[in-house]
């Protein structure tokens, strides 16, 4: 009998050895693409208090993360390290979106495996660049809160889609253009190139979230705009603050009503910006 995708994804999620985890995931992708994995549900869906991760980086509350200016080589590396950490977590989050919700259509798993594959590629790209800067993943402490949202959204893929891709990942769309500018100012050409790839791919990840969020709203006869607002009010503890990358969000499936609502939060009158680092900075300067 074919292995179940869910069993294999769980094994990947729980793997603590970094390189083994990446290899295990690559193998899973090959088997999935060859149609060798079934969608047989697990007899029990276990709670994962913490996904498998290497002993380092040390995880600390965001307020305990040392603030380093970008002016020093160490500060530059710390920025790349924080991006590597986000990408590593993004692999786990995408895998969890698969494992956690086992009654979705086949296409859903195809989409989220695609997201996980890109996150794994992002992680490896950033890790390699970090190595060029003389550091490796684990050399700096990192944010401990990135897994929390999975607990609160464990019970419903609709809420997961609203909060993880459409809120947390969407935030990445807003802040990346400014990071691109900073790296450009440092003369880090490779870093700029990498962040442009990340931004382009992240639009796709948020779009996957938007698409499944809407599909679930349609299935349940819910108004997507009102449902998104309600979920944010009930579950989102962070600040929804601009500047927003409106153009990237549009491409990622935010409707005009949502864009207008975000602009209200931001106090902006009108916005029209591009997703590119160069033009994205205009977005930031507008506010």
Applying CB under 5 A, the residues found at the interface with Fe ion are 87, 90, 119, 122, 169, 202, 205
Nearer to Fe ion, 74 or 177 (CB): 177
Nearer to Fe ion, 87 or 275 (CB): 87
26 token code pair? 């690559």
Opening angle at CA 269, ends 263 and 271, nearest 5: 65
Nearer to Fe ion, 74 or 127 (CB): 127
> Taking a C-beta distance cutoff of 8 angstroms, is the pair 235, 152 a contact?
yes
Nearest alpha-carbon partner for 162 in 110, 225, 119: 225
Nearer to Fe ion, 90 or 248 (CB): 90
Contacts of residue 278, Cβ cutoff 8 Å, sequence gap at least 6: none
50 token code pair? 């913490």
Smallest gap, in angstroms, from Cβ of residue 126 to Fe ion?
9
Nearest alpha-carbon partner for 116 in 137, 99, 103: 99
Nearer to Fe ion, 96 or 202 (CB): 202
**For residue 267, how far is the Cα from the chain centroid?**
26
> Taking a C-beta distance cutoff of 8 angstroms, is the pair 227, 210 a contact?
no
4 forms beta bridges with 38
Smallest gap, in angstroms, from Cβ of residue 142 to Fe ion?
15
């Amino acid at each position: 009998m074919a292995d179940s995708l869910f069993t294999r994804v769980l094994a990947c999620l729980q793997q603590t050895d970094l390189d083994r985890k990446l290899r295990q995931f690559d193998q899973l992708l090959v088997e999935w693409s060859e149609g060798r994995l079934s969608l047989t549900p697990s007899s029990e869906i276990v709670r994962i208090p913490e996904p498998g991760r290497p002993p380092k980086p040390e995880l600390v509350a965001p307020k305990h993360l040392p603030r380093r200016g970008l002016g020093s080589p160490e500060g530059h590396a710390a920025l790349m390290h924080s991006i590597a950490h986000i990408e590593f977590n993004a692999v786990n989050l995408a895998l969890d979106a698969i494992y956690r919700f086992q009654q979705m259509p086949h296409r859903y798993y195809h989409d989220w495996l695609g997201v996980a594959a890109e996150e794994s590629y992002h992680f490896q790209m950033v890790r390699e660049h970090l190595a060029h800067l003389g550091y490796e993943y684990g050399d700096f402490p990192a944010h401990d809160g990135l897994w929390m949202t999975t607990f609160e959204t464990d019970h419903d893929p609709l809420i997961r889609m609203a909060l993880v891709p459409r809120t947390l990942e969407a935030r990445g769309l807003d802040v990346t253009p400014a990071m691109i500018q900073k790296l450009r100012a440092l003369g880090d050409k490779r870093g700029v190139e990498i962040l442009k790839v990340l931004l382009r791919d992240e639009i796709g990840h948020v779009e996957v979230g938007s698409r499944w969020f809407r599909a679930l709203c349609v299935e349940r006869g819910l108004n997507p705009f009102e449902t998104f607002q309600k979920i944010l009010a009930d579950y989102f503890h962070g600040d929804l603050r601009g500047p927003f990358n409106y153009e990237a969000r549009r491409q990622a499936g935010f409707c005009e009503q949502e864009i207008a609502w975000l602009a209200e939060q931001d106090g902006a009158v009108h916005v029209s910006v591009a997703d590119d680092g160069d033009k994205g900075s205009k977005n930031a300067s507008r506010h």
